[in-house]
Amino acid sequence: MTSLSMLVLAAILDTVPHEYVVDCGPAAVPFKYKMELELVARDGTSLSLPFITPADWDPKDSPGDFIILLRREGWVARSGPGNTFIVMRTLKGSPVRSVSVKSEADWPKVRWVPLPPAKEPKK
Amino acid sequence: MSMMFRPQLLALEARDVPAAFSFQLPDGTTGHGTFATPAGVDAAQASQALAVSDLTVVQNGLEYVVQPGATAHYAYGALLGVTATATGPGAPVVLANATVQVGGYVAPVAYDAADTQQSFTLLNGTTGTVSYQIPWELVDFDLASQTLSLANFNLNLAGSNFAFGTANYTVPPTVLFEFGEFKGVNVAINTTGPGFAYTSVVLTGINAVVTAVGGLQFFVAAPPDRTALVIDFSGAGNNPLGYEIRVRADTQAGNQADISFKVAANTSGGVLRDLIYTVLKDKGFDVERSGDARLIVQSKKKDDHLVRVRFDGDALQQLGAIKARGVNVGTVTPKLNIRGAE
């Protein structure tokens, strides 16, 4: 795929209602690893949270940890199903534009999830 | 570990400020690295080869391992380049002074021997480094706002140097101060050039926006305000005997806690977490509970960094089960220390 077509695809995907689901994984990673969570909002606000995680860190409470740490840095996230959380917007109200993770482990993973169309109210 | 564009005033005089280099391969990927200028550089010698012990090499956003033998070369005190081999996930990166070879590609390397003051990393892994010398003799600690020109400014990015006086600066570089405190750099550079991947770099305070050929803009992610430790006490409960625990915490700006107290027999990890929450909160630390048995600890003040939390006591198994996940800021990595061990 050429860089131009990637740009076009990215522009199209950006118009589809979607959210970013960050999955902290089903089980603990058995080794110490570095990871970095990077967020960009539509108004250009951005944040990079670099972590060092010990071996066997239980992912069960991780979504709650991330939600607290993100709130302290001016971002709003909510918990999702399982060990996931969903990045929504900045505290100032700018919707999230991108979420990415760099990690030495397989986790966390970020999923781009299109939102179903809103139901029309019953007449 | 990628670096972020960040003010460094607190550590400006004491920290090791490295020289920097970067390159851009024909496939568009970039690499970069840093090293401290080795001792013994002599402006009187026509040729010098000096060992470098702290060279870092990052290619396409991934850190490579530098093999023994890295050497910096100088002529009459001027840096010519570095020879080194670094191995990593892809083909080895072979630095040969003015060029680099990665797999089948050979590309020029741009060096900036001046001390790097800031760096920024784009989401695609490309890193730019900025060097300049602050005219401290002109900084007025009584002025609420002050802007000073930087005639010795240079941006090193993707194999090119953009030095003041030769590059196309649409906004000349200035450094900003408030009551003598560094607040960032303002500059805009037109970086358009044959084969170069970026058309402009704009630094505003501590924010950066880099525009790629085709118009895609990269915003540099700002680091968090403060370091943090997420401490998990879930495995540290239910000791059959009571014990004494000593809790100490330190921030970079000197805020400290040092408290000892008795923990009753069979105290759960969650209750232990709550006890430590109370004592650290009383000592002026910013603490918040998470889940059943986790505690998030930060300094109270913005831009002050938690450096260490220490637990000492005689409940060996319980204390040994405490774990922590750290959030770094720049070069500050908060540590959890259990009876002297990390």
Contact A4 B220 (CB under 8 A): no
Contact B219 A46 (CB under 8 A): yes
- Given a cut of 90, whether residue A38 has pLDDT beyond it is no
Which pLDDT score is estimated for B292? Answer: 94
Determine phi and psi for A94, rounding to 5 degrees: -80, 125
CA–CA distances in Å: residue B319 to residues B103, B243, B269, B280, B340: 49, 11, 10, 17, 12
Determine phi and psi for B69, rounding to 5 degrees: 110, 5
3-state secondary structure of B279: helix
Q: Which residue has the higher pLDDT, A118 or B285?
A: B285
Determine phi and psi for B226, rounding to 5 degrees: -140, 150
Contact A73 B224 (CB under 8 A): yes
CA–CA distances in Å: residue B276 to residues B101, B279, B322: 54, 5, 12
Q: Is the separation of the CB atoms in A42 and A97 below 8 Å?
A: yes
Range A18-114: architecture per CATH:
Sandwich (2.60)
Residue with the two structure tokens 């910096």 = B72
Which pLDDT score is estimated for B12? Answer: 25
Q: Measure in Å the smallest separation between the Cα of B205 and chain A Cα atoms.
A: 14
Contact B225 A73 (CB under 8 A): yes
Q: Is the separation of the CB atoms in B230 and B324 below 8 Å?
A: yes
Which pLDDT score is estimated for B300? Answer: 92
Contact A73 B333 (CB under 8 A): no
**Least CB-CB distance to A46: which of B2, B222, B294?**
B222
Q: Measure in Å the smallest separation between the Cα of B180 and chain A Cα atoms.
A: 26
**Least CB-CB distance to B326: which of A3, A44, A51?**
A51
Q: Measure in Å the smallest separation between the Cα of B234 and chain A Cα atoms.
A: 10
Whether ipTM > 0.90 holds is no
Q: Is the separation of the CB atoms in B38 and B145 below 8 Å?
A: no
Q: Which residue has the higher pLDDT, B314 or A61?
A: A61
- Given a cut of 70, whether residue A7 has pLDDT beyond it is no
pLDDT by residue for chain B (342 residues), tens only, comes to 333 333 222 222 223 457 899 999 998 889 999 898 888 899 999 999 999 998 999 998 788 999 999 999 999 999 999 999 999 888 999 999 999 999 999 999 999 988 767 777 776 778 888 888 888 888 888 888 999 998 889 999 999 999 988 899 999 999 888 887 777 788 999 999 888 889 999 887 666 788 888 776 666 667 788 999 999 999 998 888 999 999 999 999 899 999 999 999 999 999 999 999 999 999 999 999 999 999 999 999 887 899 999 999 888 777 888 999 999 887 688 999 988 776
User: HSE (CB half, 13 Å, CA atoms) of B340?
Assistant: 1
Which pLDDT score is estimated for A100? Answer: 85
CATH of B228-338, one of 2.40.360, 1.10.3470, 3.40.50, 2.60.40: 2.60.40
Which pLDDT score is estimated for B16? Answer: 42
Which pLDDT score is estimated for A113? Answer: 81
Q: Is the separation of the CB atoms in B224 and B326 below 8 Å?
A: no
Which pLDDT score is estimated for B7? Answer: 28
Q: Which residue has the higher pLDDT, A123 or B171?
A: B171
CA–CA distances in Å: residue A26 to residues A56, A122, B206, B233, B291: 12, 39, 37, 20, 17
- Establish if A48 touches chain B: CB-CB under 8 angstroms: yes
Helical residues (DSSP H) of chain B, grouped into ranges: 269-282, 316-320
Contact A65 B327 (CB under 8 A): no
The rounded distance, in Å, linking the Cα atoms of B279 and B178 is 35
Which pLDDT score is estimated for B10? Answer: 25
Among chain A residues, CA nearest to B209: A44
Q: Which of chain A's residues have a Cβ under 8 Å away from the Cβ of B198?
A: none
Which of B325, B329, B336 is the best residue to mutate to test the A interface, defined by the most A CB atoms within 10 Å of its own CB? B325
- Given a cut of 80, whether residue A1 has pLDDT beyond it is no
The rounded distance, in Å, linking the Cα atoms of B62 and B283 is 40
3-state secondary structure of A111: strand
Which pLDDT score is estimated for B195? Answer: 83
Structure confidence at residue A5 as a pLDDT band (50, 70, 90): low
**Least CB-CB distance to A46: which of B61, B221, B333?**
B221
Among chain A residues, CA nearest to B216: A7
Structure confidence at residue A46 as a pLDDT band (50, 70, 90): confident
Which pLDDT score is estimated for A8? Answer: 59
Q: Measure in Å the smallest separation between the Cα of A65 and chain B Cα atoms.
A: 6
CA B49, distance to chain mean position in Å, is 28
**Least CB-CB distance to A57: which of B291, B293, B325?**
B325
CA–CA distances in Å: residue B159 to residues B105, B191, B193, B204: 14, 12, 12, 23
Which pLDDT score is estimated for A2? Answer: 56
Q: State chain B's maximal CA–CA distance in angstroms.
A: 73
Q: What is the mean pLDDT of residues A36-52?
A: 84
Which pLDDT score is estimated for B183? Answer: 73
**What single DSSP character describes residue A115?**
P
Which pLDDT score is estimated for B8? Answer: 27
Nearest to B64 by CA among B122, B137, B125, B9: B125
Which pLDDT score is estimated for B63? Answer: 85
Contact A61 B326 (CB under 8 A): no
The rounded distance, in Å, linking the Cα atoms of B320 and B147 is 51
Among chain A residues, CA nearest to B210: A44
Among chain B residues, CA nearest to A98: B123
Which pLDDT score is estimated for A77? Answer: 95
